[in-house]
Amino acid sequence: MAATAPTGTLLIVERAHRGGVESQFSDELYFARALHTLGGGLDVLLRGAAAGYAVVPESPPRPPRFTPHGSLPAADPRRSLHGLIADGAGVWVEERDLRALGPRAPGRVLPGVRVAGADTQAPEWGSYHRVWFF
């Protein structure tokens, strides 16, 4: 992504968090969506274990059971990614980290997520006012 002047914020997410009861309604990408909406724009680069957020699971994850009466909803970073993309945020995932998730992972990238690798350039850090790590 080339820009003529620095703009907005680049958010680099490197760690994946499974979530828990205390974060069942909010994950770091849900928070990023709020920053995008309120802060005048945000792009996201997924690296490391967080690359898994950009991959459609082969089977839907089962919600954790915490009570004898049923299960509680868990945080869903993929839902937050869909929202960020719908709101106009740019979302990239690093190809090398995607490949580390298995040979089929690159073919299961969520629609709207761009793969940054040898053929596709990742966002240029210098084209942003701020670069934050989550």
pLDDT by residue for the chain (134 residues), tens digit each? Answer: 443 445 689 999 998 765 555 455 567 787 787 888 787 788 999 999 999 999 998 877 666 666 666 666 666 788 889 999 999 999 999 999 999 999 999 999 999 999 998 777 788 888 898 999 98
Beta bridge partners of 131: 10
Tell me, what's the pLDDT at 43? 92
Tell me, what's the pLDDT at 4? 40
CA distances from 117 to 34, 35, 38, 56, 124 (A): 28, 26, 30, 19, 13
CA-based torsion, 35, 130, 132, 77: positive or negative = positive
Tell me, what's the pLDDT at 2? 43
pTM: 0.80
Name residue 125's amino acid: W
